[in-house]
Each structure stands twice: as structure tokens, then as C-alpha cells.
Structure 1
Amino acid sequence: MQLQQLASFVAVAETAHFTHAAERMRVAQPSLSKQIKALETELGAPLFSRARGNVTLTPAGEALLPLARRMLADADTARREVAELAGLRRGRVRLGATPSLCAGLLAEALARFHADYPGIDLLVEESGSRDLVKDLARGRLDLALIILPLQSNDPSLVTQEILRENLVVASPTEARGRRPYVRIEELRGRPMVMFRRGYDLREATLNACRQAGFEPRFAVEGGEMDAVLRFVEAGLGVAVVPSMVLDGRPGLAGTPLAPPGLRRAIALARRKDVEPTRAAHAFRATLLSYLSEAAEEGSLPQGVELARPPADA
């Protein structure tokens, strides 16, 4: 079994077409078909069904696809790890982060890392924690900044809690009263702007409202972070958001929820079965150093604090 055969197999599986897969692999179609045939002979089972011109995966092909993707991702990581031995002059960090972190603290940490290691490529995937965890497991990311607790305990991941932050009720600045906090029960019947399904904030808001004995009323739902904040600015309703995303938005005010309020933990996650590349180790060190300095200087966003004691991961 060769990596080139696995790459050809994945290309056919993703394009459902031998000609298109050959174009992607930049090989002649007969050569690609020969690689697939050799792989099927090696495994002792057909991987594709070619009935009536349609190319679909057989049960054996469906079983192989996620494994092949992971093996190719690990092989790519190995190549880059060897290249990085020349003093981190080359390499890549594939980082996942939630939208609130992309809009908040992450930019400064990325800028510091890029200044220190200009030859390292930075690839950032913005998504919800559940999707990021899946991408980590599939080998598509090296590190991910996710929200704890995870929806399901994944034994294949190592997580290190690094930050804790408050969730606040965002409303237009001119509509905010002078009250120091708002009770979750007071959101009953108020129009709310709700994130799309799969957002950790959606689940946190729904759970808090249901524990208070009511279902929230949505004025609009389905948005990403920027859209939700803009909808709140326009007066469509209020939203429960992380306090850090209100920095630089003078049109919005955040009112804390009544004690004990709502808080969430932010963690840095990686796969347990794959040692991080040297570039990923360097980014982790840069991120933790930046956060530690910001905490000492008091420049972390309001409502955000360093998780203590820090874990050694």
C-alpha cells in the first residue's frame, strides 16, 4: 500500500469521477486507474462501484476513506516536521478557533508568532468547537482553541484550559439602563438574536433559559458572530455573547448576568496520538506567553481571565 495509491483513492472518492480525480492528481487517467486497481488487489476488495457510469464507494471504500485521509494527513505532518528541523525556517501551523476568539485575542498572538517565525505558514480554520474537534480527529488541524466542556469526552484529545470568560447580554448602547446586571429570567419573552446550530453559545443560552423555566423567543436565528452582533446593533433583539467580542464595538453594551452568571472555559486542544510538530509547539509557547503577559499588564479584554493554575500539557 503506497501513499500515492491512497491519495488517488481519496481523489476519486471526493470527486466521484476518475477523470476529474486524475486532473486533480495531475496524472493520466489510465495511470490513476492502475493505482486504484493495485490498491484493491492489495486490500482484497473492490473500493468503488462503477454501475451505469456512476462512481460510488463500496462498503470497503467507505471504511477506508477516513483512515486514508488520516494517513495522508499524518504523512504530510511528518514531511513538514523533518523540514522544520532546519531551525523552524519552514513549516506550517494549522490552527482552529471559535469565531469569538478569531475576532478577539487570536489576532495579536498570531501577529507575534509571525514576527518571530516569518517562514511558518499559518492556516486558520474558524468554526464551532464540535466541528473543530472533528477536524482535529481527522488530522486536518494541529491545534484548536475550543470551548469546554466538550459535548462528548473524546479520549483521543488532550486539552489544556487556558482562559475563562464571562458571557454577557449584548444590547444596543443607547438601550442599556444603569442596572449592574440582568437576571436570566428577565429574558423571558424578549426578542433574542440566536446563533446558528452547532454554536457553543447557542447551547449555553438555550440551557440557561430552560433551567430558568422558559423557551427563548427568537427574533432571528442562524447567524455567525459578526452577523449576530450587527443584528443586535440594529435593534432586532438581545444576544448572549462572550464579553471579549464587544471590544471595539461602541454601538453595543454588555450587561453581566446575575450571579453566578454564565462563564465558559477556553482550552487548547490537540490529538493525543500524534506528537505536535515543532512549529505547533512554538505557537503554543507564543500563545501562552502572550496571554500571560496580557494578564500581568491587565490588558486582557473585560471579563476574561487567565485559567489558574496553568496545566502542563
Structure 2
Amino acid sequence: MVEIPKLTYFLAAAQTNNFRRAAELCSVAQPVLSRQIAALEADLGVELFKRTHKRVHLTEAGREFAVYAQHALEALHQGQQAMTELHEGERGLVRMGCIEGFAFDRLPEIFTRFYQRYPHIRLQICIRGTDELLQLVEQGQLDFVVVGMTFDRGKPPETLMVQEIFRDRLHVLVAPHHPLAQLKGSHILLEQVAREPLFLLSEGFGARRVIERVYEQHGFPVQPVVEVDLIEGLKALIKLGIGVTFLPPSMTRSSLSAELVALPVADLNEEFVFGLVQRRFDVLSSAAKVTMKTFLQDLRPQAS
């Protein structure tokens, strides 16, 4: 007999290709998960995984069954959710994560419209760096996250699914009265920027990694005058007009023109990919799906 826990364990193993990792995600001992998957294979009369020393891989039957298993769990969850919503209306708790740039610059305007449409959906918002947010959503502690990624950090784990929202090129950020701001519209090179005092985010931030790599490629030393772990703190320092930093303009939208100036650098072509990330094969609540759809719709039209 095919039971719900067996489907859950099977999908976790299907997304990780590793029984130990799948057991961790399901909060069960690995032998328990292995026995349940073996029992599922016996129920179905087919081999779902090819087992090697350290990893497992779906067979052709396993890949096909994963589609049906996902649909079955979604249908069950939708039925349960429908009964809840029939009794309570459109409501629920959504746990989402967001990088700081969006949290202070874009989230307030999106939330205002969202709350008017869905007043009974409660949001728990976690503001962290990209790496930590990806870890939290992978562990199932968050329903989805909005993050910025760079190609230097490699692909996200196979357990996660990314919906790209937009891309934004890295710019140098200065105060309006800084000498570089007077060159707006001119052909600015990284060599000119590298002569200025450098303010950077702390180690572990994507923008910091990109700048270190680019400076090293051009033979410039990376010697930040100040390092901070908050974008708002970094922006406050740049407003003083004594140094420069690098950020995508979309993460400083509310501060541009009046307080800060974002300038393209001709020989700096690094892009950030902003995306919405969730667990692959995860079964989200209706409230989480509505929230995700709203954020995608509100962020994508403004990408240009």
C-alpha cells in the first residue's frame, strides 16, 4: 500500500540523490527512510533508484513516478487547504526571506498593496544574506526567498528551484558631490574607480566576492577603508562623499538621484541575477503560492 510518508521520503531522495541528505530534510533516521523507500518499491513492483556507494539516482520508472507522487501530495494538500479555507476564508502564515536591499527599498510598497488584497495572510519575513537564506529555504524553515545571486558562486543546490525575476549590472556608487559623480555620462573605467577609497560589505556578501575577483583580475589591491555588514550602513558612509562602493542600482533605488549616484563602469560587466527561490518538489500552502505570485508580479514589471 502506498502511504503518504513513503511518497514524502521518496520525493526527498529524488531531489537530493542521497538517502542520508533526504533523511536529514525529513527529520528521520536514514535506515527508516531507506526501509520506507524499499517498501514503496515493493508496493509498486519496480526499482525506483539505482544505488551506488555514496549516491542514488532515479531509474526511468522513478522519474516517471516522481511526477505522479508530486501531483498526489499536491492534490492532498489542496484538499486539506480547501477545507480550511472553506471554514476560515483566505488566510494563513507565510514564511519568506528577503535580502536587505529589497527589504528596505521594495518590500514596503509591495506589502501595502498585498495587505489590501489579502488582509488575513500573515507574513514572517526573515532578512539575511543570500547564502544564509538559501540554506534556510533548503532546510524547509522558509517557504520561499527573494535573493540576488552572481555567477561566481555557482549554481544553487539541486534541491532548490529558481524563478528569475530580473538581472542588474553592478555599478559604482558615489555621493552626488563626489568627483566621479561629475563624470556622469562619461566613459568611466575601473582604473579610475580603483584610485578612490573603497568601502565594502563584509566578507560573505556576493557583491564583495565579485569586487575582490574583479580587482584581482585587473591587478588592483583590495584594501577597503571600511567594511560593514549592512547595506544601509554602507550607503550612509558613501553619502559622506569620501569613498566609493559597488552595488546593483536596484538595491539602492530609493536613495538614487537625491542622495546617491550609480555610475556604470565601462570595463565592469558583472551581473546580479535576482530570483525567487523555493524547494524543489515542495508542497506550498495556498497562502504561500498567492504571496509568491504577488511578489513575482510586483517585481518583474519594474525590472527595466
Q: Same fold (TM over 0.5)?
A: yes
**Corresponding residue for 1:178?**
183
Q: CA shift at 1:266, angstroms?
A: 0.5
Number of residue equivalences: 226
**Corresponding residue for 1:244?**
250
Q: Normalising to structure 2: TM-score of the pair?
A: 0.66
**Is contact 1:158-1:272 (8 Å) kept?**
yes
User: 3-state SS of the aligned residue for 2:276?
Assistant: strand
**Is contact 2:105-2:254 (8 Å) kept?**
no
Change (3 A) 1:262 1:153: closer
**Is contact 1:193-1:237 (8 Å) kept?**
yes
1:274-307, CA deviations, whole angstroms, 9 ceiling, x for partnerless residues?
1121111101221222235xx3xxxx3xxx43xx
1:55-94, CA deviations, whole angstroms, 9 ceiling, x for partnerless residues?
xxxxxxxxx987549xxxxxxxx7x957456575320111
Are 1:143 and 2:152 counterparts? no
User: For the residues of structure 2 that align with 1:93 and 1:85, how far apart are their CA atoms?
Assistant: 19
**Corresponding residue for 2:112?**
111
Of 238, 256, 271, 1:263 maps to 271
**Corresponding residue for 1:155?**
158
User: 3-state SS of the aligned residue for 2:95?
Assistant: strand
Instruction: After superposing the two structures, state which structure 1 stretch, 211-220 or 148-157, moved more.
Output: 148-157
Of 188, 195, 198, 2:194 maps to 188
User: 3-state SS of the aligned residue for 1:227?
Assistant: helix
**Corresponding residue for 1:217?**
223
**Is contact 2:169-2:270 (8 Å) kept?**
yes
**Is contact 1:112-1:286 (8 Å) kept?**
no
Change (3 A) 1:153 1:286: closer
Are 1:102 and 2:103 counterparts? yes
Q: CA shift at 1:182, angstroms?
A: 2.2
User: For the residues of structure 1 that align with 2:248 and 2:104, how far apart are their CA atoms?
Assistant: 11
Identity rate, percent: 22
**Is contact 2:170-2:268 (8 Å) kept?**
no
User: 3-state SS of the aligned residue for 1:202?
Assistant: helix
Q: Normalising to structure 1: TM-score of the pair?
A: 0.65
User: For the residues of structure 2 that align with 1:155 and 1:264, how far apart are their CA atoms?
Assistant: 20
Q: CA shift at 1:146, angstroms?
A: 1.6
**Is contact 2:190-2:268 (8 Å) kept?**
no
Of 227, 234, 240, 1:228 maps to 234
User: 3-state SS of the aligned residue for 2:198?
Assistant: strand
- RMSD between superposed Cα atoms in Å: 2.7
User: 3-state SS of the aligned residue for 2:283?
Assistant: coil
**Is contact 1:171-1:252 (8 Å) kept?**
yes
1:221-253, CA deviations, whole angstroms, 9 ceiling, x for partnerless residues?
133100000011123410001212433322211
The one of the two structures with greater contact order (alpha-carbon pairs below 8 A, sep at least 6) is: 2
Any gaps of 5 or more consecutive residues in structure 1?
1-63, 70-77, 306-313
Which residue identity lines up with residue 205 of structure 1 in the other structure? I
Change (3 A) 1:153 1:66: closer
Q: CA shift at 1:205, angstroms?
A: 1.6
**Is contact 1:165-1:243 (8 Å) kept?**
yes
**Corresponding residue for 2:214?**
208
Any gaps of 5 or more consecutive residues in structure 2?
1-22, 29-76
Change (3 A) 1:262 1:87: farther
Change (3 A) 1:83 1:202: farther
Q: CA shift at 1:272, angstroms?
A: 0.9
